[in-house]
Structure 1
C-alpha cells in the first residue's frame, strides 16, 4: 500500500507518519497493523510545518518528502499518481489567526481540498481520508454531537473546514469516490506548535512567563491525545465505510480553567502566573463528540488517560527545548 499524507510535517500528520513507519515510541500494543510499502509526505512547510517532526523516520527508505502546496494543481496531480490512499491533514487550523485574516483558511482548507479531490478522482485513488474537527458543529450546551448533527460553524477556520467536509462528502455522492471523514476533539501531545493552548502554556511556564486565560475560563473542551487520534484515523482508513463520518474523541472534558490548573500543577507553579484576558470573538462555549459509532463499528477506544498524557507532554517539552525555543523566537502573533 502506498499512502500520501498531506500536511505530514505538521503536529498530527507527523504523528501519523511516525506511527505508520513504526518510529521508536510511536506505536503501542494494539495499534492498527498498517505496514505501508511507501509513505509520501506533501507539506508546504508553513510556520507550523517542521521537518524536525519527521526526524525519527527521516532515514526510513519508505519515506519520501515533497515540499509543496495542496493548491498547486500540477504538483498535486503528479504526487497523487500511484498512491492507493490519501490521508488529508493539510489545513490552516488556528482560530485566532482565522479571525485576524480568513483568506488563507478558505484558500487552503477549501480550494486545497478540492484540488486534492480532483486529482484523486482522475487517478482512481482507492481511499480518501479527510481529517476534520468537531468545531464544524459550533457549540453545544449539553449532551454530545452525533455524526449526523447539522453543521453550524462560528469561526472562519471552522467554516472553511465545514466547507471542505461537505466537498469531500459530495465527491463520494456525486462521483462514487471512496471518501471517509473524521472529526476529532482537541488534540494535545508532543510536537504541537506552541501557539495552541497546551504547548503555549507549558513553554511559557517553563520559561518563567505568564499564561493568558480567556474570559471566565469556563469554555469546555474534550481532550484527545494525538496518538489516540491517529489510531482512530488508522482504523477509519482500514475499515471505515465509504461516505461516512466518524468522530474521534478522548473522553475527558475540562473547562479551560480546570486545564490551566492541571498545567500549573504539572509545571510546579501557582495562579500568580495566570493573566486574565478578554474573551475571543465568537468563542464557542463547549464541544463534545459522541464516539459510539467508531467504537462500535471499528473498535476504537482512547488508551491514554489525560493525567498520564499531560504528564508525558509536559515532560516532552521540558526535555526538547531545542525543538520549541527556535519556533517561539521566530513566531508572529496571530493578532
Structure 2
C-alpha cells in the first residue's frame, strides 16, 4: 500500500507513522508512507524516524492547500489518512482565519484530489468537540453537530465536507472523532504536556474557571490503533467515535499531575474561564467496538505515568519547542 499521511509530523500523526513503520498495524505491513506536513509550530521532524535511513518513509514539506502538490501526492497514493489541522482552541478564539483555511479549505483540497484520482480510501481524523457539550450520557455518531468554538466549528465543517463527498460522489471516506489525546511527543501547549513541563521547571500552572469541566482521556496509542482499524475495515461514509473511557474533571487531572511530580496545590493559579468553554465531553464507542473490535488498552494511570516520565527524560525535545513558541516562532 502507498499511504499519504497529512500532518504526519505532528503529535498524533507521527505516532501513527512511527507505529505503522514499526509493524504495529498488521494491515499496513510493508506500506510505503509519504508524510505531507507544513511544519508549523506544532510539527517537527524530531517526531519522525530519520528519512534517509527509513526507505519506507518519504517526507514532503508543504501545505494541504497547495492544489498541485496535493494532486501529485494523492495521485501516487492508494489511501490518505488526514491528520493535518489547526487544533488549539485558545488560538482559534484569538484568530479563527487560519483554522478555516487549514481545516476547511485544506480538507476540501484533499477531497477534490481524492475524487479526481478515485482514491481507494480516505480517513478524515476529527474530534469529539464537534458535538458541543453534553451534561450526561455519551454522544453516538448520529448526534447533531453543535460546535461552540471556532476550532470545533472548522472541524465540524470539514466533517460535513467529507460526508458530502462520500454521499454525492461515492468516495470511500470515513470520519473518526476522538476524545482528548495524551502521550509522548504532544506539543506543550495542550494541558497535560503544558502542566508537566511547567511543573518540572518549577513554574505554576493555570486552571480555567472552577476546574470542573470534564474530559474523556484517550492515549494516543489507542487512538491511532482505532484509526488503523477504520482504515482497514471501516465502512465508507460512516463516522466512528474513538474514546478512552476515563472521564476526569480538570481539577482531578491537575491533582494527578501535581502528584506525579511531587508538587502541591500552591503551584496552581486559577485563571478566568475560556470563552464558550464546553462543560463535558463523552463519546459512545459501541459502534467501533461492535464493528471493528476496538476497545482502549492503555490504562490511564499507567499511560499518564509513562507520559510524565517521557517528558522528564526528553527535555531536549520539548525545551526548544517551548522556547520557539515563546518567541513567536
Shared fold by TM > 0.5? yes
Q: 1:52 aligns with which of 43, 46, 62?
A: 46
1:169-208 equivalence runs, <5 A: 169-208=163-202
Q: How many residues align?
A: 328
Match for residue 316 of structure 1? 310
**Using the alignment, how far apart are the partners of 2:50 and 2:313 within structure 1?**
16
What SS does the corresponding residue of 1:109 show, helix, strand or coil? helix
1:1-335 equivalence runs, <5 A: 1-22=1-22, 27=24, 32-55=26-49, 59-332=53-326
Q: Deviations over 1:219-264 (max 9, x none)?
A: 0000000000000000000001110000000000000000000000
**Using the alignment, how far apart are the partners of 2:173 and 2:43 within structure 1?**
25
**Using the alignment, how far apart are the partners of 2:244 and 2:20 within structure 1?**
21
- Report the Cα offset of residue 128 of structure 1: 0.3
- Report the Cα offset of residue 39 of structure 1: 0.1
Q: Greater CA deviation, 323-332 or 232-241? A: 323-332
Q: Deviations over 1:147-185 (max 9, x none)?
A: 000000000000000000000010000000000000000
Q: Deviations over 1:3-62 (max 9, x none)?
A: 000000000000000011007xxx4xxx54421431000000000000000036762101
Unmatched tracts of structure 2, length 5 or more: none
- Report the Cα offset of residue 79 of structure 1: 1.1
- Report the Cα offset of residue 330 of structure 1: 1.3
What SS does the corresponding residue of 2:49 show, helix, strand or coil? helix
Instruction: Sort the Cα spacing of 1:182 and 1:96 in 2 relative to 1 into closer, same or farther, 3 A.
Output: same
Say whether the 8 Å CA contact 1:86–1:128 is kept in structure 2: yes
- Report the Cα offset of residue 284 of structure 1: 0.1
**Using the alignment, how far apart are the partners of 1:121 and 1:270 within structure 2?**
54
What SS does the corresponding residue of 1:322 show, helix, strand or coil? helix
Unmatched tracts of structure 1, length 5 or more: none
TM-score of the aligned structures, taking structure 2 as reference length: 0.98
Q: Deviations over 1:250-291 (max 9, x none)?
A: 000000000000000011110010000000000000000000
**Using the alignment, how far apart are the partners of 2:266 and 2:115 within structure 1?**
55
Say whether the 8 Å CA contact 1:185–1:222 is kept in structure 2: yes
TM-score of the aligned structures, taking structure 1 as reference length: 0.96
**Using the alignment, how far apart are the partners of 2:52 and 2:16 within structure 1?**
14
Say whether the 8 Å CA contact 2:51–2:58 is kept in structure 1: no
What SS does the corresponding residue of 1:151 show, helix, strand or coil? coil
**Using the alignment, how far apart are the partners of 2:72 and 2:157 within structure 1?**
25
Instruction: Sort the Cα spacing of 1:39 and 1:244 in 2 relative to 1 into closer, same or farther, 3 A.
Output: same
